[in-house]
Structure 1
Amino acid sequence: MADEKTNRGAFLIQQHYCDANAAPIYGRMAGAVAAGLTRGTAVGARVLDWPGEPTRDALPLRLFGGLHALVLAGADDALAAVYAGRVTDQAAIIATLERVLAEHEAALLPWLDGPPQTNEPGRSAALMLGLIEIARRHGPKIELLEIGSSAGLNLLIDRYRFDLGGTMYGPEDAPVTITPAWKGPPAPAVPLEIVSVRGCDVNPLDATDPTVAARLAAYVWPETRERLTRVRAAIAMQVERGVDLVQADAADWIEARLAEPQAAGATRVLMHSVVWQYLPEPVAERIRVAMRAAGERATVERPLGWVMMEPDRALGHQVIRARSWPGEGGWTSVGTSHAHGAWVDASGAAGDAAPGVDLPEAARVRV
């Protein structure tokens, strides 16, 4: 059971992660909560007395999502000034937060009831780097399976246009073009065709529902207004044509998908981003076991791949890794990325996972 020190510490961990990802507004807010939050409000008391593991539960971003929803609704001008970066003094931020928590208690408490489901289209650019590696090894056709799809915005990966260091992928007439700041060599110009995209989530969100769309907007960090524009454009793409997203336990769903017949000439690929750390260990282990077993059955005609973008505690960034079968099946690092895909470093400087490691340890920080 967590205690007050641990719960305040979760905000310091979040502050470190925000600072490492060029998010000073949330960094300052996290530092202010860690330093000055009191039990003088019902919200403050619930945060400080949080019974679970606060970082794993994404406690800071549960709170910040609720606060951002107030800002987007125009409910508090002083809080909006904090979110706009116009207030930087910690004491002033603490005073504003304490007042807001008291005045907007009824609106904020429900945001603590469930984890944020951040769904960021920019992460698709990082994932594309892993998919390109899979296509380089096994051929262009990819059958894509995503776990932890949330509202399914990354299930649009076959409909986005990407500029990956000058190498272009995706439809030329795509409504959304994702262009991360690029470091290292351009992405290889490898033929790649995503023939199908399916996803699951234990609690999927319908992005076409205006209430859900507003909730997704609230989880966008305030430093990057362009992200908000892109999320709304991606939601509009779903309104025009939906995605294949179902409610399911990740292990149940992957086991069932791996048992399905696989077309010759296409690589079946498991994909996920900022998801693994939130899976209960029994679920994660079942997925490892299922992927190893499917890897042993993989053939040149029916390969299997695994691509992920997951956080690394030491780096404070995301590591993009890929593995595939047939072959030795070990993890290869193909690059690193900003948490929301603002930049991608394709130099592969993070190094490869150690031999025998099924999936690297992830920092338990929700981004």
Structure 2
Amino acid sequence: MDSPQSNLLGEGAAQAFETQSQACGRMGSPFMEKLCALIAQNGFASGAVFDRINHWNGTIGNGGDAVPLRLAGAFHRLVLDGADAGLKSVYPPNNSSDAELLSAVNQAVIKHADFILEYLKSAPQTNEVGRSALLLPAFLSLNAQYGIPFSLFEIGSSAGLNQNLPHFHYDYGSWQWGDVASPVQLNCEWRGEQPPVTNGDLHFSKVQGCDLAPVPISTDKQRMKLASYVWPDQTERYERLSGALALASKFAPAVDACQAAEWLGEKLSTAPEYGVHSIVMHTVMWQYLSKDDQALCEAHINAFGARAHARAPVSWLRFEADDNSPSGALTLTHFDGESKTPRTSILARADFHGRWIEWSPNLGKA
């Protein structure tokens, strides 16, 4: 059948796809770079999906609703489910011309419009476990300093897969840590200063998290949705996700359905537990909160930290985007119970999918 003709997107939508294309290229996905660039330059077939995206009610780009990734996730899900032979034939590991890929996209947005419109309602959720490789050095540093168990409070948990970071194996090239038999093998290039003290285990007395819309992972269908947001040509990320899901069946993550500020207000309402290091953690979710919610979360963390003790320290550990693109900042705010004010510093800069980390605990204040 002849492919429907493409229709150009408006400037705002086209720019969102172009920006996403560039980001995907920087993060090692030539296929996603190509897909988003083609849509930015050519648009796609007119219809309900075109209208929905071209007149998006909100911030369309990756700093807001990440619509290009929502659409890409829908296409990939059709491929994974075997629901669209045309898309599958032009998706990795197959090679395709620009014309073939655009033709398959044009047909898919018409043939599967209802399915795609439903997918566009959900923010992309990769629950990228590669980011645990960025968090681990901070945990090891704090463990060497205090030598007491951690109590973890994670906001924006998605499916909670990163809560199992003590069960992963990490290879930084110059040093390793963790269970060599783990189904999750994380390879992260180590740059910069010497690593923290790497001997010893990490102990967690309690692990809990929240998400506005937790990603269920109890069925194959639910797990497939997570997989759909992994970029199709990044097989190593698939392997990590598969291993993390296997671990989650053994060590079930704890994720409450709740707004972050509300949840922190409840969980941090009492004094920090004595003999435990309380950690508030999040990765690449802060940008999705409103300014008011960010302020509320920070107020709850600061109030909790103000009650810290030398044997009940509090840390706020996060890996988030900042103004220094294309990498993100691993930032730590520490309440030791002795200093009058907390200390905030950038521990490292790193790749958003955990491909490399440049460790420099003295990098400066955030």
What is the TM-score when the length of structure 1 is the normalising length? 0.88
CA contact (8 A) 1:139 1:266 kept: no
> Secondary structure of the residue that 2:246 maps to in structure 1?
helix
Answering whether residue 315 of structure 2 is matched by residue 305 of structure 1, we say yes
> Relative CO higher for 1 or 2, CA cutoff 8 Å, sep ≥ 6?
1
Check whether the contact 1:134–1:324 (CA below 8 A) recurs between aligned residues.
Answer: no
Give matches, 1:1-367, under 5 Å: 4-38=10-44, 40-55=46-61, 56-84=64-92, 86-87=94-95, 89-190=97-198, 191=200, 192-326=202-336, 327=339, 328-347=341-360, 351-354=363-366
Distance 1:234 1:60 in 2: 26
Q: Deviations over 1:185-241 (max 9, x none)?
A: 453125543332111111112212221101011011112112112212211222233
Q: How far is the alpha carbon of 1:265 from its aligned partner?
A: 2.5
Q: Relative to structure 2, which stretch is displaced further, 295-304 or 308-317?
A: 308-317
* CA–CA separation in structure 1 for the residues paired with 2:307 and 2:361: 29
Give the distance between the partners of 1:48 and 1:329, measured in 2 at CA: 45
How far apart, in 1, do the equivalents of 2:34 and 2:242 lie? 26
- Identity, % of aligned positions: 29
**CA displacement at 1:137 relative to structure 2:** 4.2
Quote how far apart the aligned CAs of 1:141 are. Answer: 2.5
Distance 1:29 1:207, change over 3 A: same
Deviation at 1:307, TM superposition (A): 0.8
How many angstroms apart in 1 are the aligned matches of 2:276 and 2:32?
42
Partner SS state of residue 306, structure 2: helix
Q: 2 CA distance for matches of 1:47 and 1:87?
A: 27
For residues 75 and 246 of structure 1, what CA distance do their matches in structure 2 show?
32
Cα 1:112/1:304, change in 2 over 3 Å: same
Letter in 2 for 1:280: S
Instruction: Say if 2:90 and 2:100, in contact at 8 Å, map to a contact too.
Output: no
Alignment: residue pair count: 351
Distance 1:330 1:17, change over 3 A: farther
Deviations 1:228-270 (A, max 9, x none): 1221221122223312221111111112222235332321011
Do the aligned residues in 2 keep the contact of 1:119 with 1:150 (CA within 8 Å)? yes
After TM superposition, give the deviation of residue 303 of structure 1 in Å: 0.7
Q: Which moved more, 1:252-261 or 1:121-130?
A: 252-261
Report the AA paired with residue 40 of structure 1: S
Deviation, structure 1 residue 80: 2.9
SS in 2 for 1:157: helix
Q: Whole-Å Cα distance in 2 between the matches of residues 48 and 39 of structure 1? A: 12
Q: Does the 8 Å contact 2:141/2:197 carry over to 1?
A: no
- Superposed CA offset, 1:134-183 (max 9, x none): 33444443211110111111111122222344434334543323222332
Change (3 A) 1:289 1:47: same
Q: How big is the shift at 1:353?
A: 4.2
| Structure-2 separation of matches of 1:39 and 1:329 | 54
Structure 1 residues 70 and 91: CA distance shift in structure 2, 3 A:
same
The 1:76/1:38 distance shift into structure 2, 3 A limit, reads: closer
For the aligned residue pairs, the C-alpha RMSD in angstroms reads 2.3
Gaps of 5+ in 2: 1-8
User: What secondary structure does 2:302 align onto?
Assistant: helix
How many angstroms does 1:43 deviate by?
1.2
Q: Which moved more, 1:116-125 or 1:95-104?
A: 95-104
Q: Say if 1:170 and 1:12 are closer, same or farther in 2 by CA, change over 3 A.
A: same
> How many Å separate the matches in 1 of 2:294 and 2:214?
19
In 1, Cα distance between equivalents of 2:300 and 2:309: 16
Q: Is the 8 A contact 1:20 1:317 kept in 2?
A: no
Amino acid at match of 2:326: G
C-alpha separation between the residues in 2 aligned to 1:288 and 1:333?
17
CA 52–151 in structure 1, closer or farther in 2 if over 3 Å, else same: same
The question of whether the paired residues in 2 share the 8 Å contact of 1:38 and 1:45 is answered with: no
Q: Label 1:31 to 1:229 Cα distance change in 2 as closer, same or farther (>3 A).
A: same
In structure 2, relative to structure 1, the CA distance for the partners of 1:81 and 1:341 (3 Å cut) is farther
Decide whether aligned partners of structure 1 residues 38 and 84 sit closer, same or farther in structure 2, where only a CA change above 3 A counts.
Answer: closer
The code of the aligned residue for 1:308 comes to: R
* Distance in structure 2 (CA, Å) of the matches to 1:250 and 1:318: 21
